[in-house]
Structure 1
C-alpha cells in the first residue's frame, strides 16, 4: 500500500479513531452487515464538534427532553439565518426558516403542499436513493434525467430537463452540492436551470444539506439566492446532520422564499414541527453558531481523504473511473471496466467484506457504479481499498 499522505495537526485526531471504536452494534453504518467495513451510509466516522456535544449533554443534564419550545426554535432559526449569511452571503429572515425532522420530510411537505396535483417529479440522476422511492413521490410520475460529464465534472443535462417539461409543468429535485457525484453547481448552471423551470411553470425542491462541506471547491450558492424567480418557485431544505454528524437527532430546516408558500405553510406547519427533536435543535443551534473551526478541520480532513482515496484507486484499482468530487464525502465510482459478474456492490460485500451503495439504487443506467463514503480514518480507508483490490485479484 502507498504511504499515507501527510496529515496536518488539526486532522490527525480523526485518524486515531480505530475500527474497534467504530464497529458498534448501535451504528447503522457499521452494523448492517456484521463483520464488514461500513462505507455506504453518508455519515462521518469523526464524531461531532465539541460544542455540539456539550450542547446536547448540557440539555440532558438539565432534563430538557420535552417538546420543542418556541424560544428554542427561535434561537435555532436565528442561528441558521446568521450561518447562511456568514458562510454563503444569503440573507434569510429567520421567520422564513422552520423546523422539520429531516430533509426527506421537507420533500414530503413540498410534494404534498407546493406542487400541482399529479405533476411529475424530475429527478436528475445519479440521485440520492430516497428521491427515487415511490413512497416519497406519493405516486407521482418520476422522470429520471441522467447527468453528464463535461470538462471532468458532473453537471445537469439541461436539454433533458427541458424535454421533461414537454407535457406541462413539472417539479425538479436539485441536490446541491450533489450526492453522489460531489458536484457544486455554478451560478451559470443554476440560472440556466431556473430559466427552464420558470418558462415551464415548474417548481424546485432544493436539497442543500451538503452545503457546509465544499472542501476546496467553489463556494456554495443557495439556489433561492440567484434570482427573484428562483426564490419564488423553490422551497429549500438543509440541516446540520451531514457536516456535524447528527442525523439521528432529527432536526432540519425548511425555508420558504415565496410569501404565498410561507403563508400556506403557516396554516398546517404546526403539525410538522412536532416531528423535530429538541436535542436536535440544541445541536443545530450550537453547530450554526460557533463551529466554523470544526468545519475548517473537517473540510481539511476530507480533502486529505479524497486525495488518498484517488491515489489508492490509481495504484490498486486502476480500472475504476471516477470524477474527483468537488464537495461532500462520497465518491461515485464507475467499475464497469472491472467486468464484475453481477451487481458490483454485492461482489464487494461478499468477497471483500466492504459495504458500499449499489449504483442501481441511484438511478437507471448506473448499475455498474458504486458509491463509497470516504469520511473515515485513513487506516480504515486504506483497508477498504486493499480489501477491494484483494477480492478482485482472487477471482
Structure 2
C-alpha cells in the first residue's frame, strides 16, 4: 500500500480545476468531488510518456481499457465480466444520458432516489424524460431504498431507474438482496436500471460493494452499469468512463449507440484509467486509508465542536452528509457557512427531497484543513430552532 497524503496548500492553490479555482483564497474548499492528493505514480508516468511521444490523438477502437477494468473488477469485487460488453465514453453522466435516450421515449418518467447526486435531475431532462422522485426511507437502521415506493413508481409508468450505487451523498451501499429486489420489480414492469457505480472503488474496509449486474440473473438481463476511475484516482478532467452490460438486450442497446458516444472518450483518460486499473491499487488503498483516517477525525471534531450536527458515516467514498438542522441555520446551511466561516460545502438543497438543512462535505484533504474547517463552522452562532 502506497502512503497517500494531501499536497501542500501552495501546490493546491496553483491548481486550476474547480475545487481550488472556484472561490477566493480565504475560502476552504470542501465541496466538489475532487481530492487534494497527488496523482498516482503509474498515471503520472503514462501521461508523461504519452506527451513525450506526442500521443494525443483519438482513442483507438482497439485499446486495453476494457480488459484492465474487467481485471480490476474481478480482483476487487469478484465480478466476472468475461462475456460482458464494456464500452467507453467521456464520463458517467454522458453514459447515463445516452442510455436513457436509448431506453426511453420523450416525456417518459425516470425514477431517482433523493437525496441524490444533483446532476441526475438534469441528466434525465437532457435525455428528454421527466423525473419521478422516490426518496430514501429511514428503516430504523438508517436510510435505505424505498422498495415499495419504487414498485409504485414502476407500476405508475416509470420506464427507467437511475440507481446511485454507492449512493451519493450518503456513501450508502445497497445490499445484494435490495438490488435483486430492484431487478425483480424492474422486470415485472419492464423498467431499465442504469446503475452509477463511480464511487465503488472507494468502498471502505469492512464494507461490501455489490455491483448491480452481479446481484442476480434478472439484474443482468435488465440493467446497465457505469464505472470510471475518475473519482477513485482523481482524474475527472481526463474524460473517460465505462458502460457495462451483460444481458443480451442491454448488450444490443449498447451496440446500437451512436459511434460518437465512444469516440468522445479522452485519449489521456483512457491511458490514465488503464494504468489506474492495472497498476494503481496500491495508491488506491493508500488513499482509502487517508480517507478513513479523516472520517475518524471528522467524527471526533463533530463530537467536540458540533455535537448538534449528526451524520451517518459513509461506507464508501470521501463525501459525508451532515445534518445541520439542529443548528437552526435554515434550509441552506451551506450558504451561511460559506458567508460566515469561509468554508465551501455542497448545499443539501441541490440533492432533492430530504436535502433541506443538510450539507455535503469532502474529506479528501489534509487533516489540518479539515480541522480548521470544522472549527470555523463551529464558531458560527446557532440560529433560532424550528418549531
TM-score range, shorter chain: over 0.9
* 2:81 aligned partner: 92
Kindly tell me the number of residue pairs found equivalent between the two proteins.
383
* 2:66 aligned partner: 77
1:221–1:255 CA distance, 2 compared to 1 (3 A): same
3-state DSSP of counterpart to 2:23: coil
* 1:187 aligned partner: 176
CA contact (8 A) 2:173 2:315 kept: yes
* 2:116 aligned partner: 127
CA contact (8 A) 2:328 2:382 kept: no
Q: Where does structure 2 lack aligned partners over 5 or more consecutive residues?
A: none
* 1:202 aligned partner: 191
CA contact (8 A) 2:2 2:283 kept: no
Q: 1:263 offset after TM fit, Å?
A: 2.9
Deviates more, 1:160-169 or 1:327-336: 160-169
Distance 1:348 1:259 in 2: 50
Aligned partner (choices 51, 74, 84) of residue 60 of structure 1: 51
Q: 1:154 offset after TM fit, Å?
A: 2.5
Aligned partner (choices 328, 333, 354) of residue 344 of structure 1: 333
3-state DSSP of counterpart to 2:232: helix
3-state DSSP of counterpart to 2:201: coil
* Cα shift readout 1:43-62 (whole Å, capped 9, x = no counterpart): 11112211111111111111
Q: 1:96 offset after TM fit, Å?
A: 0.6
Q: 1:331 offset after TM fit, Å?
A: 0.5
Root-mean-square deviation over aligned CA pairs: 2.0
Distance 2:218 2:330 in 1: 48
CA contact (8 A) 1:130 1:136 kept: no
* 2:30 aligned partner: 39
CA contact (8 A) 1:78 1:94 kept: no
Q: 1:116 offset after TM fit, Å?
A: 4.7
Moved segments of 4+, more than 4 Å: 134-137
TM-score, structure 2 as length reference: 0.94
Q: Where does structure 1 lack aligned partners over 5 or more consecutive residues?
A: 1-8
CA contact (8 A) 1:121 1:137 kept: no
* 2:254 aligned partner: 265
TM-score, structure 1 as length reference: 0.92
Q: 1:222 offset after TM fit, Å?
A: 0.8
Distance 2:118 2:381 in 1: 27
Distance 2:158 2:314 in 1: 32
Distance 2:173 2:206 in 1: 7
Distance 1:134 1:327 in 2: 23
CA contact (8 A) 1:239 1:251 kept: yes
Q: 1:321 offset after TM fit, Å?
A: 1.1
3-state DSSP of counterpart to 2:19: helix
